Each structure stands twice: as C-alpha cells, then as structure tokens.
Structure 1
Amino acid sequence: MSRRIDALDVLRGVAIMGTLGTNIWIFTAPGGALEFLQFGDGGSAVETFLRFLANGKFLGLLTLLFGVGLELQYRSAVRKGMRWPGRYLWRAALLLAEGVLHYILVFEFDVLMGYAITSMLVAYLVGRSERVITAWMVAAGTLLVALVGLATLALTAVPAGGGGGAAPVYPASWLDQVWLRLDNAIVFRMELVFIVPLGTVLFLLGVRLMRAGVFDERGARLRGGLMVAGLGIGVPLNLVTSFAGPTWFMIDRYLVAPLVALGLLAMITSVVLGLRGEPGPLRRGLTNVGRTALSCYVFQNLAASVLCYNWGLGLADRLDGLRPWWVPVAWAGICLLFMGLSTLWLRRFERGPLELAWQWAYQAPWRSRTPERV
C-alpha cells in the first residue's frame, strides 16, 4: 500500500513540474499570454521540440490524477457511511474560489477553475454504474472532438501570428495585469470550453484506472497496454502534430497529448513500484512536490511571474535574444527551488502551506462538530 501511495505522490510531483514545462513558454514570451493567443509558429525547430516535451501531456496527467483523487474521496465517504457527494461539493467550491483568485492575481491560464467545475459534475457520476460512466465518457469525448474540430477549422482561416501587425505588449505592472485579466475574462477563460469535457473523460478514466488496480502489482498488464498506446503510438503522433504548425494546436493539446499522459502514468507507476530500498534525492523531491502539489502549482506560477515580468526581474524582455536556450534553465531553476522548499517545509508540517489553509477552510463549516479526516 505504501508503494502505491508513493507512486501517486511521485506522479503528482512529475505532473506539477511538467505543467510548469508547458506554462514557462508563456511566462518567458515578451508578449506573455497575449502572445500565446496569437497562435504563432512556435519559433525555431529547437523551441518547437522543447515545447513538444511538455505541452499538454502533463496537464493531462494532472487531470487523470484529479480523477484518482476523487475516487479516493468517494471511497472514504462510503467507508464512513457519509452522504455523497455531500461535503465534497464544498471541497470543489473552495477549489473554484482558489482558482478564481489564482486567475485574477497570478496567471491567465489557471487550471483549478476547470478542475473544480468538472469535479462538481463527476462527483455525481462516480457512484453510478459502469454503463452510466461509459455513456458520459463517450458523450463528453464526442463533444470534445467536435469542439476541437471546429476550433481547428477556425485556425485554418487565421494567418500565423494572428494576422500580423505589431507584437502584443503585455502590461508592465502587476495591477495592470490584474485589470487585463478582469477585462478579458471571457477570452482567457475560453479554454474552459475544452477543459470541462476533456476533464470529464480523464476524471472518469482516472476513476476506472484506480478501480482496475493500475497503481499496484495486479495492474502490470494494464500498465503495459497503456505504455504501448501512450508512448508507442501517442508520442510519435504528438511529435507530428507539434511540428505540423499552429493549425494543429488544438488537436495536439487536447486529443493527442492526453494519450501520451496515459503512457506516462503507466511508465512512472511501473518504475516506482519496481524500486526497492530507501528513496534517493530525486524520488524524495518529487514525492514532496506531490504532497504539496497545490502550493507548488501556485508557487511556480508566482515565481515565474517574478522572474519574467517587468514588475519583477523582467527577464522575458531582457533575455529574448537568448530564447529558447534560457527557457529550460529558468524551468529547471524554479523546479529545483520549489522542490527544495517543499522538502524543508515538510520537515515541520504535514501538509503544504496552501493545503493547510485549504484544509482549515474545508473543515470550517463543521468545526463545532466532529471534524472529518481526509
């Protein structure tokens, strides 16, 4: 059982670091989120390859793990004889509130809001029959494919770079960035249209994988199949769509990358389950990041903002001539920073700082009663 839990923590740690690998290209662009929305050609072949290594697949992995977490919460409620979804909806509401704050104050492309909305829907499905779960997965998957298809057709009509013109200028001050997010909430949050159906599929898939034993020894055959599909088929397809140009962006990010995420989940789990002895520095670091995943997710975006934006060190403008070479260095530096900080924090506390605050808020309505352990 402990190794299974270790596998989940390591997977969360990898997913958090890989998510930064996707977002770091937005932070380090001089035009920030505005430049990202132009759907440019992605720069040099080197930059395209570096983007390919992370784009979408670790967000897919993180989404699968949210589904696994929902299944664990459901099992806990059933064991305790508690009404479901019951308090879980309050949990999802807190996540939504946190996502809104994260969006407004830190980062345009927050994923917590999408996960919160999705979890409110999937919470009502996790206890249903396999037939109902399958029907919802098919319906959500069909909707996702249709939306991606329409978006891809729309991108074919848009010239690379959004039709040319002057490069977008991202606001220099933090307050102006906040106002930009508030004024353009519909544009920046449009991704929720794709995240919710994709999340529904991957949440429910995570539930099913957990029930099938993918995280323990009895799931070896299942993991093998997932690695063949995700790494043997998904990775070559992902490489093709990454170099196919901006028109293929939606297919690359929302259809192909999640397939790769399944292979990564299976491969990392197999590696962790095969390890013996005491964890080394890398495994301990990834585990600690996984245990403080929420704090590390917010921290990495805040750290990248300080590093790249002009109200901080302004390296996005200063080092634009060194792109893409300095970007992986920035990613590695931030990852090492929050890996070290999470390790130091967990020497004194059981949960991460945001996890502690979130847990306090979660238990607040029932504090006068017997608190629920989670």
Structure 2
Amino acid sequence: MDTVSRQGAPRGEGERIVLLDVLRGIAILGTLGTNIWIFTDPRGIVGMLVGDREGGVAEVVLRFLANGKFLAMLTLLFGVGLEIQRASAARRGKRWPGWYLWRMALLFLDGVLHYVLVVEFDVLMGYAVTGLVVSYLALTSDRAQRWWMVAAAVNHLALMGLMTVGVGAAGAGAGRSEQFTLYTGGSYLDQIVFRLQHAGVFRAEAIFTIPLAVTLFLLGARLYRAGAFAPGERGAVLRRRLMIVGLGVGVPLNLATALLGDPSLVFVDRYVLPPVVALGYVGLIGWWVYRRPGRSWLRARFAAVGRMALTCYMLQNLLGAVLCYGWGLGLAAALVEYRPLWTPFAWLGISVVLVVFSELWQRRFRQGPIEAAWRWAVQAPQRSRDRSRQVTA
C-alpha cells in the first residue's frame, strides 16, 4: 500500500474531528430539506414518483439547494466513518473487517425497522450493503481502490444515462395521482401494509444507487486519509479544490437542469450533479469551520446534531410523519393550498426541535438514545464471548 492510502488517521485515538460532527449535523438537517417536500405532499412519496411538479420558481430553487446534495454528503461521511473504523482496527492490531460486519448487520436491521415503521425512503439499508462491500475493498491497495472507485462511478453514470433515456421515452410526469389518499386518510397500519406490499418499488432506489454509494464511500475514505477534514494548509488546499469543482462547476450545471424543469432529467438532478455539488458544500463548510478557530455557537449546534446523527435522522422522519400524515396532525391535507409557503417553515421547526433536543440530551448523556442502544448491541456479542472465555479459563 502506498503512503497516501495507509497514513495514520489525522487525529489521536479517541479524539473527534469537529468538522466531521458539523458536517454530519448539516447533512442530517439537509436531508430533511429534501424529505420535507415529500411529507407535505398529500400524496406522500407517490407524488414524487409520478414526477409532476406544480410549484413555482421559488419551490424549484429551494428544492435545488437540498435535493441529493446532503444525501451525497451523508454517504461520503459514511465512507469516512468506515475508514476511521479501519484505521482504528489497524492501530490496535485487530482483524479487519472483523466486527465491522456485525455493525453493518445491525445497521441493516435498523434500516428495515425504519422503513417498515416510519418512512419509505430509508437510506440505512443501502448504506449497510455498501459498507459490507467497501469494507472488503478497503483491504486492497490504494491503486486498486482508485480503480474500483472509477469503475463504480462509470457504472453509475451509465445506469443514470439509461434511466434518463428511458424516462424521456416513457414521457415522465404523465402519470397523475390526485386521488391517492393513503397519507391523508389512511391509518398508520395502512401505511405499514402499503410499504410491505410495495417494498420492491420503494427499495429500488437503494439498489440502483449502490454504485454511487460505493464511489462516495471510497472517495470519503480517500479524502480522510489525505487530510481533507483536518486543520492546516494541506487540508485547506484540498477543501479549496473541492469548492472549485463543486461550487464552480457543479452548482451552475445543476441549477440549469433544475430551472429547466425537464422531468426526464430527474435522475441527473438527484443522482449525477448533486454529488459534485456536495463536494463543494464539504469544502465550503470546512472553510467556515476552520476560518476562525475556537468555539462558535452555530457550529456547536450543528456538531451536537452530528454527534446524534442516527437518532436525529430517525426522529426527523418520525416528526415529519406526525406533523403531516392523516394519522397525526394531518397538515399536509389541511395546508395543501399553502404548501410552497409552509413547507420551509415545517423544515425550520423540525430542525429547531432536533437542535434543542440534541443540546439538552447531551448535557446529561454522552450519546444519543439510538447511539447508546446501537453501542450496546454492537458490543453484546463481544461481551458474551468474553464471558464464555472467563468461564472456560
């Protein structure tokens, strides 16, 4: 392995990189910026699938800022997390992937529960499968990983190209779904049954985006090893390059396709250009965090959410469902005429709840509730093994 791929992690053992927490927090709140439009649509996710957009320019711009960008950022950060786990195992002389496979099994289970009980657009199952694949790719040389990353990216672009052509030929947006009332009039149990009956449709995204996820996992790991998230001139140079590519190239192209409003470009708008823009977001946020070292009130709030990322991800979707669905407050139907106006306020309200909850919780507890349960479940087999060894000793 060359020196770039296997340098020591740019931190001490157990020391957190604040930028990573801030990025996770912003990514979590940013994904809500996309999902909130699904919650406030009376047709729920079906409204997004049929592709008929009825909002004006303001809604298009608001969607553009979040659509696909923060999901790509979150995926990139999962790759960083994988590399941190691998580097930690290497420092301690532990076998890799080892217990990381158990972590991915638990993540997949979390995703199944989240999908069945809360929302159709869960990302955890896809991350678990990707983590399983990339954990073995992490055993290869830096050159091999680079080729795997390029191959996955090419595969993804080819697939998106075919799907874009297919959508255009089929006449995207032709289907309508005004009479679909499951999310406004159906019960909580009705929605669970609906998700189970249509799992193949709703889980298709998690499958066809695996090449993109592999690309971003490997890229995140590579950026971490290169020091892109660490303070100092080396990291600053890398972050400037990310801004040039993401903001200088990605933003103009993605803004153009978004304003064009062509339904056949739906995959380009969500899965091709947003990952490029996400790199610019990462660079920009990194510049902001390291611009003035020291404690910042806003950075601290984002970091608090980032340290409870799994809890906040699940909680934000639960809050969105309670706020909008018929079995909850039913605001999606009640405020349908004002949807472009009240949707941003719904995002802001839920975001404030997440920030306040994270801050108050961490005043008393070191980890979020889901993170604590996760840690217990991850360590349970190891504790059982240790007890067995003590008995037989």
* Bucket of the pairwise TM-score, normalised by the shorter protein: over 0.9
Q: Which moved more, 1:127-136 or 1:71-80?
A: 127-136
SS of 1:312's equivalent in the other structure is coil
SS of 2:42's equivalent in the other structure is coil
Q: Take 1:289 and 1:92, find their aligned partners in 2: how far apart are those partners?
A: 22
Is the 1:41–1:160 contact (alpha carbons within 8 Å) kept by the matching residues of 2?
Answer: no
Q: Which amino acid aligns with 2:83?
A: E
Question: Which residue number in structure 1 is paired with residue 201 of structure 2?
Answer: 187
Output aligned runs, 1:62-77, within 5 Å. 62-77=74-89
SS of 2:136's equivalent in the other structure is coil
1:8-51 CA-to-partner distances (Å, cap 9, x unmatched) read 00000000000000100101000001111101135222111111
Q: Take 1:213 and 1:254, find their aligned partners in 2: how far apart are those partners?
A: 26
Unaligned segments of structure 2, at least 5 residues: 1-10, 388-393
Q: Take 1:163 and 1:66, find their aligned partners in 2: how far apart are those partners?
A: 35
2:253 to 237, 250, 269: 237
Q: Take 1:92 and 1:166, find their aligned partners in 2: how far apart are those partners?
A: 39
Q: Which moved more, 1:159-168 or 1:218-227?
A: 159-168
Question: Which residue number in structure 2 is paired with residue 144 of structure 1?
Answer: 156
**How many residues end up aligned between the 2 structures?**
370
Is the 2:50–2:176 contact (alpha carbons within 8 Å) kept by the matching residues of 1?
Answer: no
Q: Take 1:73 and 1:334, find their aligned partners in 2: how far apart are those partners?
A: 31
Q: Percent identity?
A: 55
Question: Which residue number in structure 1 is paired with residue 6 of structure 2?
Answer: none
How far does residue 168 in structure 1 lie from its aligned partner after superposition? 2.6
Q: Take 2:199 and 2:229, find their aligned partners in 1: how far apart are those partners?
A: 38
Output aligned runs, 1:242-281, within 5 Å. 242-244=258-260, 245-280=262-297
Output aligned runs, 1:197-236, within 5 Å. 197-216=211-230, 217=232, 218-236=234-252
Question: Which residue number in structure 2 is paired with residue 342 of structure 1?
Answer: 358
What is the TM-score with the length of structure 2 in the denominator? Answer: 0.91
Question: Which residue number in structure 1 is paired with residue 334 of structure 2?
Answer: 318
Is the 2:46–2:177 contact (alpha carbons within 8 Å) kept by the matching residues of 1?
Answer: no
SS of 1:123's equivalent in the other structure is helix
How far does residue 165 in structure 1 lie from its aligned partner after superposition? 6.3
Is the 1:71–1:210 contact (alpha carbons within 8 Å) kept by the matching residues of 2?
Answer: yes
SS of 1:128's equivalent in the other structure is coil
1:105 to 73, 92, 117: 117
Is the 2:229–2:235 contact (alpha carbons within 8 Å) kept by the matching residues of 1?
Answer: yes
What is the TM-score with the length of structure 1 in the denominator? Answer: 0.96
Q: Which amino acid aligns with 1:186?
A: G
Given the alignment of the two structures, is residue 90 of structure 1 paired with residue 90 of structure 2, yes or no?
Answer: no
Q: Take 1:303 and 1:165, find their aligned partners in 2: how far apart are those partners?
A: 25
Q: Which amino acid aligns with 2:108?
A: L
SS of 2:203's equivalent in the other structure is helix
Given the alignment of the two structures, is residue 196 of structure 1 paired with residue 213 of structure 2, yes or no?
Answer: no
SS of 1:65's equivalent in the other structure is helix
